[in-house]
Amino acid sequence: MNEILIKNGFVYDPINGINGEVLDIAVRDGRIVDPSRVDPSRALVIDAKGKVVMPGGIDIHSHIAGPKVNIGRLMRPEDHYLTNKPHKLPHRRAETGLTVPNVFRIGYEYARMGYTLVVEPATPPIKTRHTHEELDDIPIIDKAAFVLVDSNWLALDLITEGSREFLAAYFAWLLSVTKTYSLKLVDPGSDVAWILTGRGIDIDDQIPSYNITPRDVVREMGNAAQLLNLPHKLHIHCNRLGYPGNYLTTLKTMDIAKDISRLSEAPALHITHVQFTGYKGDSWSTLESGGEDIAKALKINKYVTLDLGQVILGRSATTMTADAPFEYVLYHLTRWKWANADTEVESAAGIVPYSYKKRSYVNTIQWVIGLEIALLTRDPWRVVPTTDHPNAGLFKDYPILLSWLISRKAREELMKDVNQRALRKAILPSLDTEFSLYEIAIMTRAAPAKLLGLDKFKGHLGVGADADIAIYDIDPKELDLSRNYEKFVKAFKKAWLVIKNGEIVVRNGEIVKTIYGKTYYAEPSIPEELRKELDVFLRKKFKEYYSVSLDSFYIRDHELRNPVKIPIETKIKG
């Protein structure tokens, strides 16, 4: 029996309304229990006096596994030069890589920051076995993956035919057989256009060879997600990502939420890495921030949530996305390295290394956008800080990103070094909003847990929750975080103590034990008669479209290290 008693810490647990109160947290057999159930004479007692105690962090969008991540590693040999950290058995395996780290560094770096659950947001169905093989090897953290459906030929056929119930049944089957958690749309319909015409398309352009538009795809897939009753309905990378003027496409995409037949009050759409789709202007030279417009739209539309994709200036990155048309354009802007891939029937991807420069006009505008949206909305339950790792920045720089939210001084210090012409076109310098530790706990713990529908046992420290706990060596009563943001960054880069599943895995910022977390996947129910029809449909389509057999498409539980099935009672009619 494993028992831990954490005493005297300042606890931040927004799901349970706890805002910096000094409380004891008890752990027994990997779960949070009432402190009265733990005997201090037998338990490991941890004195957290003068320290911050939070649930483990949750990253809702980070590219950590799958074929494009592996290609990124191969493309960046310089990424591994002088970044190697030899193994230190029995506690830690060897680490390497900067923008595209190896699996061990991914797990260890997240754990060092106090993060304990991370979502891989884009896996093509046919290559998801590869994704799970990498997720299996990432230590410590829990994982989940979102399956790509935006240009899936079977789905587009069903949308064209108007088969909403059958579309939902197909997605239920796809989530189950790929062992994934939710549906991901990247530049809806553009992979078909890319293959046939060599270009992407906007939200109201027709998808070549189909009598539908990306707007139709988002609406109908949104309706299918409602029928599926998915905890996290629809994760959307908007059309025209990376193009000047694309903030209008983002606003139009957000507005589709009103056209979805909502069967609950939960958010209908999640717009991801919004910085990349928040550009005003008609060219790179006239680029401006569309952050204020997006913030206004978000306040009006309560059925939309988003994450930032915040640029980290002064850092190298490796952009990777299923938005192949954009990566093709980015390659021609950078003229260095480029990889491109198409997966049959389903998706495409591109990979291009990039560097965000402080003095760059465009990069400064990009840096401004995400921060403006977060600070103007000041709605930590609906705006989640991410860097779209490794696209806009590295996940290990999250403490730096968070410092810009808690401290105007931190923002002003960086503003001295950025492109001043770009800054004069932004409203960021006039914003004095500063987030509290409680709000940071919402954005990085409570809100992601609720958005994923895992808040019964993740993202909080209430009785029954998983014992995923991060303790940081800062005293909120003694330290003015706004003025001393550097100490916040230092503390959140390397947690004082991290407990995962009731076991201490990090002490004083160092890995002291390697364990392996769970992989969550959704299992939506399908009415039996519809399942029989679906089987006939799938066998026909696989012979028509795929080069692999239907039977080889199934991923079994034994292929996941620690699978956790989340059963979902759908609203699909038989």
Average pLDDT over all residues of the chain: 96
Banded model confidence at residue 573, pLDDT cuts 50, 70, 90: confident
Say if residues 306 and 247 touch (Cβ distance below 8 Å): no
DSSP at 175: H
Taken as a whole, the chain contains a residue count of 574
pTM of the predicted model over 0.95: yes
- Residue 291 backbone class (left: φ over 0; alpha: ψ -120 to 50; beta: rest): alpha
How many other CB atoms sit within 10 Å of the CB of residue 529?
Answer: 10
With a pLDDT cut of 90, the percent of the chain lying above it is 93
Banded model confidence at residue 109, pLDDT cuts 50, 70, 90: very high
- DSSP sequence for 296-365: HHHHH-TTEEEE-----TTEEEEEEES-HHHHHHHHHHH-S--EEEEETTTEEEEEEEEEE-TT-HHHHH
**Residues 454-505: pLDDT tens digits?**
999 999 999 999 999 999 999 999 999 999 999 999 999 999 999 999 999 9
d(CA 39, CA 374): 44
90 prior amide bond cis, ω within 30: yes
**Residues 310-354: pLDDT tens digits?**
999 999 999 999 999 999 999 999 999 999 988 999 998 999 999
With a pLDDT cut of 70, the percent of the chain lying above it is 100
Say if strands 115-123 and 57-59 run parallel, antiparallel, or are unpaired.
Answer: parallel
Residue 1 predicted with pLDDT over 60: no
Complete domains list, the chain, with CATH: 3-55+460-511 (2.30.40.10)
Say if strands 31-33 and 57-59 run parallel, antiparallel, or are unpaired.
Answer: unpaired
